[in-house]
A and B are shown apart, each in its own frame.
Chain A
Amino acid sequence: MRANEDQLRAWMVGGLDGVAADHACLLRALVPILSAFYSRRVFASDDIEDLVQETLIAVHSRRATYDRDRAFTAWLFSIARYKMIDHFRRSRSVVPIEELEDILMVEGFEASSGARLDIEDLLGTLPAKQARMIRATHIDGATVAEAAAASGYGESDVKVSIHRGLKALAARIRGSET
Chain B
Amino acid sequence: MNTDQLIDSLASDVKPVRRSALGARLGFGMLIGALVSAALVIMLLGARPDLASAMNGFAFWMKWTYTLSLSAIAVYATAQLARPNPGNLRVLWLIAIPVTLLAGVGVLELAHTPPGEWLAMWLGSSWSKCPWYVFGLAMPIFIGLLWSFRRLAPTRLRAAGAAAGLAAGAFAATVYCLHCPEVSAIFVLTWYTLGILLAASLGALVGPRLLRW
**In the complex, are the beta carbons of B25 and A56 less than 8 A apart?**
no
B155 touches A (CB below 8 Å): yes
CB within 8 Å for A27 and B22 given contacts A17-B16, A64-B17, A86-B212 = no
Residues of B near A27 (CB, < 8 A) are: 7, 10-11
In Å, the complex CA distance between A58 and B212 comes to: 12
A18-B16, A28-B7, A78-B155 known; A64 vs B25 contact (CB < 8 Å): yes
Interface size on B, residues (CB 8 A): 27
Once A57-B10, A62-B153, A65-B22 are accepted as A-B contacts, the answer to whether A31 and B3 lie under 8 Å apart by CB is yes
Residues from chain A with a CB closer than 8 A to the CB of B25 are 64
Question: Across the interface, which residues of B come within 8 angstroms of A20, CB to CB?
Answer: 11-12, 14
In the bound complex, do residue B153 and residue A23 qualify as a contact, i.e. CB atoms below 8 Å apart? no
A16-B85 contact, Cβ under 8 Å, with A57-B10, A64-B151: no
- Taking the complex as formed, is A161 at the interface, i.e. its CB lies under 8 A from any CB of chain B? no
Closest approach, in angstroms, between the C-beta of A24 and any C-beta of chain B?
A: 4
Name the residue of chain A whose CB is nearest to the CB of B11. A24
B151 shortest CB reach to chain A, Å: 6
Distance to closest chain A CB from B163 (angstroms):
15
Contacts of A56 in B (CB 8 A): 3, 6-7, 10
Find chain A residues with CB under 8 A from B11 CB. 20-21, 23-24, 27
Interfacial residues, chain B to chain A (CB-CB below 8 A): 1, 3, 6-8, 10-12, 14-17, 19, 21-22, 25, 82-85, 87, 151-153, 155, 212-213
Could you jot down 10 A-B contacts, CB within 8 Å? A19-B14, A20-B11, A20-B12, A27-B10, A62-B84, A65-B83, A70-B85, A75-B85, A78-B83, A79-B84
